[in-house]
C-alpha cells in the first residue's frame, strides 16, 4: 500500500500480478486434473490404490460446468452465454457435486453423458476445422509456425477426446492402462495448448 492509500503496483517475482487470461486459467486446472488422474490410474489398474469413479466423473463435470458458466466454453466449441447455456451449466454442476458427495447413483449417467459430449465435441470440431479445407478449391494460405502448432495441437486434442469418450462409453473395450495413457496425453496436450495460447496472446 502506498502513502496515499492506493495499492502498491511495484511487486516483483512471485508476488507480481500474473497476466493470465481467464480462458487459459480455466484450462490449467483441467490439465492438472487429467495428468494427475492418468498417473493415478496406473497404480489403480494394478490394484495398488483404491479409486472413486464418482469423484472423477463428478469433478470433470463440475469443471466443465464452470467453463460453460464463465466463458460459454463447451466440448463442442464456444457459444454465447445464453440463458439456456447457463441453466445447462448449473444442472451439470449440480450433477457433478451430487456425484462427488453421494457415490453410486449418477455414475453411469454422468459417464455416458461425458462420453457422448467428448465424442460429439471432438467430431464436430474436427469437421468444422477440416471440411472447409476439403471443400475449398483454392490452396490454403501458409500458416505461421506458431499457428501450425496450434492447429496440430487442437487436432490431436480432438482425436484424443474422441478416444477418451469411446473408452468411457465402452469401458471394457479399451485396456485400463491404455485409458490411463490417453488421459495423461490429454492433460499434457492441454498444457501445451495453454502455452501456445499465452505465446500468441
Task: Kindly give the interhelix angle for 176-200 and 22-45, rounded to the nearest 10 degrees.
Answer: 160
For range 155-174, the mean pLDDT: 87
- pLDDT score of 133 more than 80: no
| Contact by Cβ (8 Å): 169, 119 | yes
- Of 90, 67, 91, the C-alpha closest to 79 is 67
| Contact by Cβ (8 Å): 63, 15 | no
| pLDDT for the residue numbered 169 | 86
Q: Which of 14-23, 40-49, 144-153 has the lowest mean pLDDT?
A: 14-23
| pLDDT for the residue numbered 20 | 77
Give φ, ψ of 38 to 5 degrees: -60, -45
Count Cβ atoms within 10 A of the Cβ of residue 99 and give its class: 0-12 exposed, 13-18 middle, 19 or more buried.
buried
Q: What is the pLDDT of residues 32-55, one digit of tens each?
A: 988 998 999 999 988 899 888 888
Element (H, E) at 77: strand 77-78
Q: Which of 40-49, 58-67, 128-137 has the lowest mean pLDDT?
A: 128-137
| pLDDT for the residue numbered 89 | 94
Residues with Cβ < 8 Å from 38, sequence gap 6 or more? 180, 181, 182, 183, 184, 185, 186, 187
Please tell me which residue, 191 or 1, carries the higher pLDDT value: 191
| pLDDT for the residue numbered 17 | 74
Distances (CA, A) of 118 to 13, 79, 125: 39, 16, 11
For range 142-148, the mean pLDDT: 82
In 10 A of CB 167, how many CB atoms? 21
| pLDDT for the residue numbered 147 | 85
Confidence of residue 136 (pLDDT cuts 50, 70, 90): low
Task: Kindly give the interhelix angle for 145-169 and 176-200, rounded to the nearest 10 degrees.
Answer: 150
C-alpha cell at 71: 466463458
Please tell me which residue, 94 or 132, carries the higher pLDDT value: 94
Distances (CA, A) of 82 to 15, 26, 96, 162: 36, 20, 21, 26
- pLDDT score of 2 more than 60: no
| pLDDT for the residue numbered 22 | 80
- pLDDT score of 9 more than 80: no
- pLDDT score of 10 more than 80: no
Gyration radius from the chain CA atoms: 20
Amino acid at each position: 500500500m502506498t502513502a496515499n492509500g492506493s495499492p502498491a503496483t511495484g511487486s516483483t517475482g512471485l508476488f507480481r500480478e500474473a497476466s493470465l487470461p481467464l480462458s487459459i486459467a480455466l484450462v490449467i486446472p483441467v490439465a492438472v486434473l487429467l495428468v494427475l488422474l492418468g498417473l493415478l490410474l496406473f497404480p489403480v489398474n494394478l490394484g495398488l490404490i483404491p479409486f472413486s469413479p464418482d469423484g472423477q466423473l463428478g469433478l470433470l463435470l463440475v469443471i466443465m460446468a464452470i467453463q460453460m458458466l464463465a466463458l460459454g466454453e463447451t466440448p463442442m466449441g464456444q457459444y454465447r452465454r445464453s440463458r439456456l447455456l447457463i441453466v445447462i451449466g448449473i444442472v451439470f454442476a449440480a450433477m457433478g457435486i451430487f456425484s462427488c458427495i453421494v457415490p453410486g447413483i449418477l455414475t453411469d449417467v454422468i459417464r455416458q453423458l461425458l462420453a457422448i459430449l467428448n465424442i460429439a465435441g471432438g467430431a464436430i470440431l474436427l469437421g468444422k476445422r477440416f471440411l472447409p479445407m476439403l471443400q475449398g478449391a483454392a490452396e490454403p494460405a501458409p500458416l505461421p509456425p506458431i499457428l501450425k502448432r496450434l492447429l496440430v495441437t487442437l487436432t490431436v486434442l480432438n482425436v484424443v477426446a474422441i478416444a477418451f469418450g469411446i473408452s468411457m462409453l465402452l469401458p471394457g473395450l479399451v485396456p485400463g492402462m491404455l485409458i490411463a495413457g490417453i488421459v495423461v496425453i490429454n492433460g499434457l496436450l492441454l498444457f501445451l495448448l495453454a502455452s501456445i495460447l499465452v505465446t500468441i496472446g
